[in-house]
Structure 1
């Protein structure tokens, strides 16, 4: 079954993700413009884009464990997922700046509100990953340096989970579940080389 999925995935080019990526963003903004997101559409748009960003971070972190342990090869999509994650984070940030706070007291909010401080730090760390997500940067930096730089996704994931935890009021399971998933995926990577790999078939 996994072999058949891998064979099918080999026929799907990674650029397809770039074509599909804007659709959820456009849908969310359309719902906001048509008053389908409640009394505070800006906050709802901001929240939905933040969730999508977190989902994409989790998807990127899951690629290696899935390949090693389940034999599911999604490696060729990892770069596209990373770039799209940055795109969603940028949309999330711009929604906060333009629609939510309307460029008022931005620095004061970043300094005083911990969840904004953490979220902004995650975005800043994501910038070098987005800028270097291309073959030219890989060639210029060298494979070792490039891989080391892109390990920033680990603290970014932790900061994203922490941002969500600090954002919500009271006890809510949703951010806790996402935080647990991220911690679990990171823990898997720590022990990844010590555990047996799934034997990939020759067809993958």
Structure 2
């Protein structure tokens, strides 16, 4: 007569890979790698003849890439049937904001000497700087209210409405990038990012416009 298998010896169902405790630290590390490389390249003089400009623009590039990645999470969740992907959307969003903040600080310090008057004159003189500032102004309340305490305080519906500001922020970020590169006739990369942004926004619009059963 066979003995019953002890409960602790029974095979346990495998946890989903996205629930592994190493996933979140790994994603944080991957998001931090571009920043680590830029800091290293700055101090080892690998950013070219104009390191300040290279640093400012690279930080902005990674902010836009992070924003596109953040907005890709929901379509990926739906198309791949992986609802657990939503656990990491805030992570990517906050990293995108961090790069945007560093982009702004690097511009203010290295390009304008942290002089408010010079920054205001530059905003009035160059439209793409104005658009960049508007983009940051839209991202700021999203980052400030990205935590669960803010969501509870605002209520789910108001929180969702507020976070729809990410859509105009994405369009303004693409316009900022386009105008910046247009001066040097380097539009291939901005065109790719703009196309991705339009696809993401088009996907959301098509889903929101479907009649509910």
TM-score (norm 1): 0.86
State the Cα distance separating 1:15 from its structure 2 match: 4.5
1:163 aligns with 2:176: yes
- State the partner residue of 1:64: 74
- State the partner residue of 2:193: 178
Query: Which blocks of at least 5 consecutive residues in structure 2 are unaligned?
Result: 1-14
Match of 1:87 among 70, 84, 98: 98
TM-score (norm 2): 0.83
State the Cα distance separating 1:24 from its structure 2 match: 1.9
- State the partner residue of 2:205: 190
SS at match of 1:162: helix
Separation of aligned partners in 2, 1:107 and 1:63:
36
State the Cα distance separating 1:68 from its structure 2 match: 1.3
1:111 aligns with 2:121: no
Moved over 3 A (4+): 12-15, 17-23
Separation of aligned partners in 2, 1:23 and 1:156:
24
- State the partner residue of 2:7: none
1:11 aligns with 2:20: yes
Are 1:65 and 1:192, in contact at CA under 8 Å, matched by a contact in 2? no
Separation of aligned partners in 2, 1:158 and 1:64:
18
State the Cα distance separating 1:70 from its structure 2 match: 2.4
Task: Sort the Cα spacing of 1:13 and 1:125 in 2 relative to 1 into closer, same or farther, 3 A.
Answer: farther
Are 1:115 and 1:163, in contact at CA under 8 Å, matched by a contact in 2? yes
Separation of aligned partners in 1, 2:186 and 2:61:
18
State the Cα distance separating 1:101 from its structure 2 match: 2.1
Are 1:111 and 1:117, in contact at CA under 8 Å, matched by a contact in 2? yes
State the Cα distance separating 1:167 from its structure 2 match: 0.4
- State the partner residue of 1:123: 136
Separation of aligned partners in 2, 1:191 and 1:125:
24
Are 1:118 and 1:163, in contact at CA under 8 Å, matched by a contact in 2? yes
Query: Which blocks of at least 5 consecutive residues in structure 1 are unaligned?
Result: 1-5, 196-204
Structure with the bigger RCO (C-alpha within 8 Å, sep 6+) is 1
